[in-house]
Structure 1
Amino acid sequence: MTSPQLSASALPVRWAGEWVHLLPERAIWWPEGRVLFIADLHIGKAATYRALGQPVPGGTTQQNLARLDVLIAAHAPQRIVFLGDFLHAAQARTPQVLAALADWRATHGAVRMTLVRGNHDSRAGDPPAALDIEVVDEPCLLGPFACCHHPQLHATHFVLAGHLHPVCRLYGPGRDSVRLPCFMSDAGQAVLPAFGEFTGGWLVERAPGRRFYAVGGEAVWVLPAPD
């Protein structure tokens, strides 16, 4: 069976008997279900740091929402599933952040949105009800997928998760190396890179059967399996 049509920058993989597209925007598109999966948005993280007196730059909320706009325009999803950590913290609920979210949600009122609660959501609280975002606990079963925040195994479904903010290291000549966000898959589960700006990343170790899909520029590619 061949994979469906997709943009030149996406990478098709077949998980749980379904083709999904790993996008360089650090999201997954499931064309059969017309669903976008987004992990670790962390809206308002910069605002949270500023509230604590850290002189970090602003604008990351608008950048994140603008990137979501591009994905919605490109794929016309019927549903977006946020795999945890939608808001970063209680301090993120500033009038400016909430107003930006309200304007953005109003623009995409026809798209069903679901948040699978993550560890930051337990501290930040659920999104305002006016945003019309369904909020559920993990696992949320959707087709063959178990939508989670924390990586884990499920008895019957393939897990899509976030939480780790995975990155991988590529080595060049000499001592050159670069860290890149990546998708990561093990038997029965896959972990998405953090979508949000200003989120950092965790360098994931190689392990038997583990596959990495690096994200760089406008492309996603499979890294060679370890010898």
Structure 2
Amino acid sequence: MHPIRLAGEPAHLHPAGALFLPARDTLLVADAHFGKAVSYRRLGVPVPEATTGATLDALSDAIAATAARRIVFLGDFLHSRRSHARETLAALQAWRDRHPSLDLLLVRGNHDARAGDPPASLGIEATDEPVRLGPFALCHHPDPVAGAYVLAGHWHPCTRIGGRAFDSLRLPCFWLGDDSGAQPQRAVGVLPAFGSFTGMHPIRRAPGDRVFAIADGVVRPLPGA
């Protein structure tokens, strides 16, 4: 994991795309989009299988690495109403049964509005944004909140890295706006999508932003970060 300071507190950036706040024993995960693949398959679109299992394995690895006691999902936990498929919910329940002591909170996002809250058996409290946690406002949408540093998802940020042979790669990234207080409108950090089957959108970096790309299982600060 890559350690940083954020809004005056320690934070760790996990290469799966999660952000850990050790002072709060809290792991933040954005845009898991569980059940996205099965949603597409039910529409007749050929897409990869076993994506839910891959995402849950990554989540378990992040829990083991951080010893987090709480997970806050920053929106878009389930992809759609079609995500309530038997096999998807069974995988989620089996994962939950392996982690019964975790405190789980969902800050609802735009996909949650359509998919509905997770089944009660998963023991996930669901609420609307923002959720205040110390200096942070936990949200799905990356919009400023007065007097807080926002941590959100929604955009699935990525950055483009160019090579000498005019080749380039798109890499998921943590996009952390200015946390100095000098630019309150920029006090927003966006986590990469955690789900293993999600798209990405390139960012437009502004002065004061810090960007941390994820490549080969390592979080790497980009120049200026």
Q: TM-score, normalised by structure 2?
A: 0.93
The CA distance in 1 between the partners of 2:88 and 2:159, in whole Å, is 31
Q: Deviations for 1:83-120, whole angstroms, at most 9, x for unmatched residues?
A: 00000000111011111111111111101000000000
4+ residue runs of structure 1 moved beyond 3 angstroms? none
SS in 2 for 1:32: helix
SS in 1 for 2:24: coil
Picking from 150, 156, 163, the partner of 2:147 is 156
Shift, 1:205, TM fit? 1.6
The aligned counterpart of 1:103 is: 94
Does residue 126 (structure 1) correspond to residue 98 (structure 2)? The answer is: no
The CA distance in 2 between the partners of 1:220 and 1:73, in whole Å, is 17
The aligned counterpart of 2:128 is: 137
The CA distance in 1 between the partners of 2:222 and 2:62, in whole Å, is 25
Residue ranges of structure 1 left out of the alignment (5+ in a row)? 1-9
Shift, 1:209, TM fit? 2.2
Structure 2 matches for 1:41-52, cutoff 5 A?
41-52=32-43
The Cα RMSD (Å) is 1.2
SS in 2 for 1:86: coil
Does residue 39 (structure 1) correspond to residue 9 (structure 2)? The answer is: no
The aligned counterpart of 2:51 is: 60
Shift, 1:69, TM fit? 1.3
The CA distance in 2 between the partners of 1:207 and 1:75, in whole Å, is 30
Shift, 1:43, TM fit? 0.1
SS in 1 for 2:23: coil
The aligned counterpart of 1:89 is: 80
Q: Deviations for 1:31-67, whole angstroms, at most 9, x for unmatched residues?
A: 1111100000000000000000001121001111111
The CA distance in 2 between the partners of 1:58 and 1:85, in whole Å, is 19
The aligned counterpart of 1:112 is: 103
The aligned counterpart of 1:78 is: 69
The letter for the 1-side match of 2:24 is: G
Picking from 168, 175, 184, the partner of 2:166 is 175
The CA distance in 1 between the partners of 2:63 and 2:224, in whole Å, is 33
The aligned counterpart of 2:183 is: none
Residue ranges of structure 2 left out of the alignment (5+ in a row)? 179-186
117-126 or 62-71, larger mean C-alpha shift: 62-71
User: How many residues are matched?
Assistant: 217
The aligned counterpart of 2:221 is: 222
Mapped contact 2:14–2:62 kept (Cα < 8 A): no
The letter for the 1-side match of 2:59 is: L
The aligned counterpart of 2:201 is: 202
SS in 1 for 2:55: helix
The aligned counterpart of 1:7 is: none
The CA distance in 1 between the partners of 2:60 and 2:194, in whole Å, is 13
The aligned counterpart of 2:188 is: 189
Q: Percent identity?
A: 52
Shift, 1:211, TM fit? 2.1
The aligned counterpart of 2:182 is: none
Q: TM-score, normalised by structure 1?
A: 0.93
